[in-house]
Amino acid sequence: MSVRVHSRVSVIIPAYNRAAVVGRAVRSVLSQTHEVSEVIVVNDGSTDDTARVVKEIADSRVICLEHDRNRNGAAARNSGARRATGEYFAFLDSDDEWLPSHVSNKLKCLAESGCDGVFGSFILRDSRGEKLRRCSAVPAGMSILEYILSPIAGDVRTSSMVLKREAFLAVMFDETLWKHQDWDLAVRLCERFRLSCDQEATVVIHAEGADRMSARMNHTATRVFLDRHAIKMSPAALARMNLILAMRTYGAEGRTVDYDLYRQRAWEARSHLKLADRLVLAAIGLPFANYWALHCGRSVVRLLRHMLRR
């Protein structure tokens, strides 16, 4: 597959009550070294000035579509894709931004790999500073789901995705999911097409706000995701995911029914977990347990194990 120098790229940005940050996202698109053809912002039933901010941007490539009610990010991205005219669709969340080389890097990666889509590394910015999330290439023989859940591989984020038009339109986002939309899309996409990984970080994901969808638990969506894809996971990956869900639920909500469910599932499959994860699993829920201490301790144990293997 060849990617032409002047390939038409449509950028799709879903926005719900993002008046304070959507301008930053759009400006980062308009500053790309590879000029994009259009920037479609889908105002997903916002009740603030999101639409006004977008419409005041003086660039003919910026298009604002309106949803009469909040339908969720998946539905907004699909609406934008149906309107888009480009050969490639690039997705960006309204509270994130791209570095100027993002689109050109992703097109180069597509040309070199011959794949139907690409995702990549990113910079995670929160109240504590910045952290590089380096995504390695997907190992041969590893499914994209195992890759996402592996502690040493990578992650697939919507804001890093650039996909061929025909590949995306054949799959599209699941509008019934209010969480895990990017993971679900990647899994279903890879059942029919190929994804590659750009290891250079060209995306800044802003995690400062507590109103990000990824920062909140949505147990209904999580159960749908697990019911749909659990059969495709190895016992180790499934155990690890339930452990992570137990930790995050404990950190966000305490000892709830959902926490008990995830922990019980992880406990029943504990033989598939690494030692560091089994220790964390045993400690979760004890009176002295602290979510962030457990999270940091788990990372320290992994780092020590890695250093000892060198």
Say what the pLDDT of residue 308 is: 45
Name the residue among 276, 177, 271, 275 with its Cα closest to residue 228: 177
User: What's the confidence (pLDDT) of residue 212?
Assistant: 55
Residue 262 and residue 246 in contact, taking contact as beta carbons nearer than 8 Å: yes
DSSP 18-51: -TTTHHHHHHHHHT-SS--SEEEEEEES-SSSHH
Q: What is the pLDDT along the chain (310 residues), one digit of tens a residue?
A: 455 556 899 999 999 999 999 999 999 999 999 999 999 999 999 999 999 999 999 999 999 999 999 999 999 999 999 999 999 999 999 999 999 999 999 999 999 999 999 999 999 998 888 999 989 899 888 889 888 877 666 789 999 999 999 999 999 999 998 888 999 999 999 999 999 999 999 999 998 765 555 557 788 888 888 888 888 888 988 888 888 888 888 878 888 899 899 999 999 999 998 887 888 888 876 655 554 455 555 554 554 444 444 4
Q: What's the pTM? A: 0.84
Predicted confidence at residue 295, as pLDDT, reads: 54
> Residue 137 gets which letter from DSSP?
P
Quote the pLDDT of residue 170.
98
**CA distance readout (Å), 299 to 32, 266, 274:** 36, 18, 12
In whole angstroms, what is the distance from residue 67 CA to residue 160 CA? 24
Q: What tokens does 61 get?
A: 């490539």
Taking the CA atoms of 106, 164, 10 and 75 in sequence, report the sign of the dihedral they define. Answer: negative
* Mean pLDDT rounded to a whole number for the chain: 87
* Domains of the chain, CATH where assigned: 9-213 (3.90.550.10), 234-309 (no CATH)
pLDDT score of 283:
80
Q: State pLDDT tens for residues 173-199.
A: 999 988 889 999 999 999 999 999 999
Q: What is the pLDDT of residues 23-49, one digit of tens each?
A: 999 999 999 999 999 999 999 999 999
Cα atoms found within 13 Å of the Cα of residue 225, Cβ hemisphere only: 24
- Cα-flanking dihedrals φ and ψ of residue 9, to 5°? -120, 125
pLDDT for 250 equals 83
Give the pLDDT score at 306. 47
Residue 50 confidence (pLDDT): 97
